[in-house]
């Protein structure tokens, strides 16, 4: 792996989830051997991504241009919200849905190819969580930065600010947006599994 801390973290998030813990342990040991106890402690705290978060990170690796086209809509949506431009908000939201659905479709087809090789495709629950995270990334610049970097450890649900609230009257303008990180399953603080393990793992084509 690369020697820079950020490069090491980025490389860890490119690995299949089942290889993450062992690779992180090797990097932690290497830092300790070099005398960097602080860096080793920090790296040890880097969370293993859930299954759904791994699929979000797959978008960064395989379709960065398409992902950036979606994330770029965030600034335009916020500007249209400030301008109270209803027509522009409607147009941008349609574009957001089309681009997000397109990325999920790419993941589904990628999963089909993996399944043909005997690997596990994303479940319906996983694809739903990916779509929720993409929506959060469009609405929240901090989430967008994590998605853009391909270092998601948990999926995210956006709350509190939607196209509907953006179109409300000025006097009824809501509070700013918030996001909720979906935790790893109970008993799995390191994110070694994902809630979608209990779901039907047969993939479906996104609508």
Residue 174, both tokens? 């809501």
Nearest CA-CA partner of 175 in 184, 188, 187, 166: 166
pLDDT (0 to 100) of residue 172: 41
Q: What is the pLDDT of residue 168?
A: 43
pLDDT value at position 4? 67
pLDDT of residue 160: 57
If we measure between CA atoms, which residue out of 22, 5, 49 comes closest to residue 182?
49
pLDDT of residue 162: 53
Question: Residue 149 has what pLDDT?
Answer: 94
Residues paired with 180 in a beta bridge: 157
Alpha helices in the chain (DSSP H): 5-13, 17-33, 37-44, 51-62, 64-71, 73-83, 86-116, 124-139, 141-149, 163-166
pTM tops 0.85? no
pLDDT of residue 193: 45
Q: What is the mean pLDDT of each run of 10 residues along the chain (207 residues)?
A: 72 92 96 94 94 95 96 93 90 95 96 86 94 94 95 86 44 42 45 42 39
What is residue 71's predicted lDDT score, i.e. its pLDDT?
97
State residue 138's pLDDT score: 94
């Amino acid at each position: 792996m690369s020697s820079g801390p950020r490069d090491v973290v980025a490389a860890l998030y490119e690995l299949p989830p089942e290889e993450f813990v062992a690779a992180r342990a090797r990097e932690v040991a290497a830092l300790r051997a070099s005398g960097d106890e602080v860096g080793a402690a920090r790296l040890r705290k880097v969370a293993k991504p859930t299954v759904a978060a791994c699929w979000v990170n797959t978008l960064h690796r395989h379709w960065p241009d398409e992902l950036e086209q979606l994330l770029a809509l965030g600034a335009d949506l916020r500007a249209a919200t400030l301008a109270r431009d209803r027509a522009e908000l409607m147009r941008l939201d349609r574009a957001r849905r089309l681009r997000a659905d397109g990325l999920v479709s790419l993941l589904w087809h990628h999963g089909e190819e993996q399944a043909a090789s005997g690997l596990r495709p994303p479940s319906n629950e996983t694809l739903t969580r990916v779509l929720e995270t993409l929506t959060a990334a469009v609405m929240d610049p901090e989430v967008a930065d994590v998605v853009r970097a391909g270092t998601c450890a948990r999926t995210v649900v956006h709350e509190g600010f939607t196209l509907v609230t953006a179109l409300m009257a000025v006097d009824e303008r809501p509070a700013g947006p918030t996001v909720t990180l979906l935790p790893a399953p109970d008993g799995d603080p390191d994110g070694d599994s994902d809630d979608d393990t209990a779901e039907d793992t047969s993939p479906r084509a996104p609508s």
